[in-house]
Amino acid sequence: MPKPPVELLAGTATASIIMLHGLGADGFDLAPVAQALDLPDVRFILPHAEPRPVTINGGYVMPAWYDICQPDLSREQDDAGFAQAREIVANLIRHEIARDISSTRIILAGFSQGGAVALYSGLTLGLPLAGIAALSAYLPQLPAAVNQTLPIWAAHGTRDDVIPLSLSQASYARLAESQLEMHLYPMAHEISMNEIADLRAWLQTQIG
């Protein structure tokens, strides 16, 4: 039985942000980020990935949205894992809609592996969402991109040695320039307070 997501809400929910953690973490890992964003009347949903063997880590079992087969993320992709993760995201979106949150008031967000899942899900589900926020992530290969006008806010560290900036930028080149807002920060594979401040401003524009 999957663990229920962490939920954070100050006020009455008028919008929702589904925020996906990175490899080896869990939903609690992003709770400080949600709190720092300080968005009243926004429900944050922080789900937990199920443990699975991760090939790049010698088959070690850890929380992961999908398997990572080799260091070059652009060469081999766990399509089945991405599809399973997308179904988890789709169910979370359906649950929010059942709680009277319009899909146009729902943001998908994520860090690292979670950001890749947010992009994969948001661009292929075919739902009119408020946008996607991808932190230190990359755009995976997509079966078909149906939300080609969905606003995307992306951020990356110039010193990231986990998902190199060059890989991230090359993957985002497949998006229309009008769709993507890219921010770079002098940091490694992490989340900074300046990044959170910029993300908060964008979120207020999308769902404020």
**Residue 17 forms beta bridges with which residues?**
44, 107
The answer to whether position 49 is within a domain reads: yes
Q: Work out the average pLDDT over 110-134.
A: 96
The dihedral through the CA atoms of 23, 20, 115, 90 has a sign that is positive
Instruction: Print the domain residue range for 27.
Output: 6-207
Long-range contacts, 31-35 (Cβ 8 Å, 24+): 31/6, 33/111, 33/191, 33/196, 34/8, 35/8
Domain count, the chain: 1
The answer to whether position 34 is within a domain reads: yes
1 confidence band (pLDDT: 50, 70, 90): low
- As annotated, the active-site residues are 112, 160, 189
The answer to whether position 106 is within a domain reads: yes
pLDDT in tens, 43-91: 999 999 999 999 999 999 999 999 998 877 777 899 999 999 999 999 9
The answer to whether position 1 is within a domain reads: no
Q: Work out the average pLDDT over 92-117.
A: 98
Among 10-14, 142-146, 153-157, the least confident range: 142-146
Quick one: tokens of 195? Answer: 């990044």
Give 11: exposed, middle or buried? Use CB within 10 Å, 0-12, 13-18, 19+.
exposed
Given a contact cutoff of 8 angstroms between Cβ atoms, the answer to whether 139 and 119 are in contact is: yes
115 confidence band (pLDDT: 50, 70, 90): very high
Which has more pLDDT, 160 or 144?
160
The mean pLDDT of the chain is: 94
Per-residue pLDDT for 152 more than 80? Answer: yes
The answer to whether position 78 is within a domain reads: yes
Tell me, what's the pLDDT at 145? 66
Per-residue pLDDT for 18 more than 90? Answer: yes
Alpha helices in the chain (DSSP H): 31-37, 79-98, 113-124, 165-172, 193-207
Cα(119)–Cα(137) distance, rounded to whole angstroms? 9
- The HSE-up count of residue 182 (CA atoms within 13 Å, CB side) is 20
- Which amino acid, one-letter code, is at 56? I
**Residue 154 forms beta bridges with which residues?**
134, 182
pLDDT in tens, 161-196: 999 999 999 999 988 777 899 999 999 999 999 999
Q: Work out the average pLDDT over 101-107.
A: 98
- The HSE-up count of residue 119 (CA atoms within 13 Å, CB side) is 27
The answer to whether position 165 is within a domain reads: yes
- Which amino acid, one-letter code, is at 18? I
Tell me, what's the pLDDT at 148? 80
Given a contact cutoff of 8 angstroms between Cβ atoms, the answer to whether 158 and 136 are in contact is: no
Q: Work out the average pLDDT over 32-39.
A: 97
Domain of residue 126, CATH code: 3.40.50.1820
The answer to whether position 197 is within a domain reads: yes
Tell me, what's the pLDDT at 2? 75
Query: What pTM does this model have?
Result: 0.96
